[in-house]
Structure 1
Amino acid sequence: MKYKGKEFECGTVKVGERGQIVIPKSIREDLNINSGDNLIVLGNKEEGIRIIVANSLEELAQIVLNDKKK
């Protein structure tokens, strides 16, 4: 699937009775998401839900902090 020139994988998930979802295997493999990894879940009524792999956010923070030191 392409959106605004970027490629995305998509799939459907069913929400369990306690709010849990299962991320499709192809997406977990593509994004290297493994059991025990931390994900950040953001959401609002206008734009819906976004899930961010916490490791990638931590790596970005390190890049920004290291760049400010220069």
Structure 2
Amino acid sequence: MSRPKGKYAWTVTVGEKGQIVIPKQAREVFGIKPGDNLILLGDEERGLAIPPKSEITKFISAVFETEQDK
């Protein structure tokens, strides 16, 4: 079974301090560098998500956009 293009799945282990290590391939695919800040989203029914920073920036901009900005 081949994976769909652009779709990935990785596993991580949660350490004693609640920390996870983002796999190297994931960091490379999404351009995550040391010192980057990430947003962790959670939904009790659907789980956790760490969306790409570029998508969050677009979302935040849209939330705060006013009619005058258009």
Q: Which has the higher contact order (CA 8 A, sep 6+)?
A: 1
The letter for the 1-side match of 2:69 is: K
User: How far is the alpha carbon of 1:55 from its aligned partner?
Assistant: 5.0
Q: Relative to structure 1, is the Cα distance of residues 31 and 57 closer, same or farther in structure 2, using a 3 angstrom cutoff? A: same
Structure 1 stretches of 5 or more lacking a match?
A: none
Is 1:11 the counterpart of 2:13? The answer is no
Percent of residue pairs bearing the same amino acid type:
42
Q: What secondary structure, in the 3-state scheme, does the structure 2 residue paired with 1:40 have?
A: coil
Structure 2 stretches of 5 or more lacking a match?
A: none
Give the aligned partner of residue 32 of structure 1. 31
Equivalents in 1 of 2:52, 2:38: separation in Å? 5
Name whichever structure is richer in strand by fraction: 1
Equivalents in 2 of 1:14, 1:57: separation in Å? 25
Q: How much is the aligned-residue C-alpha RMSD, in angstroms?
A: 2.5
TM-score, with length taken from structure 2: 0.71
The letter for the 2-side match of 1:69 is: D
TM-score, with length taken from structure 1: 0.71
Q: What secondary structure, in the 3-state scheme, does the structure 2 residue paired with 1:37 have?
A: coil
Q: What secondary structure, in the 3-state scheme, does the structure 2 residue paired with 1:7 have?
A: coil
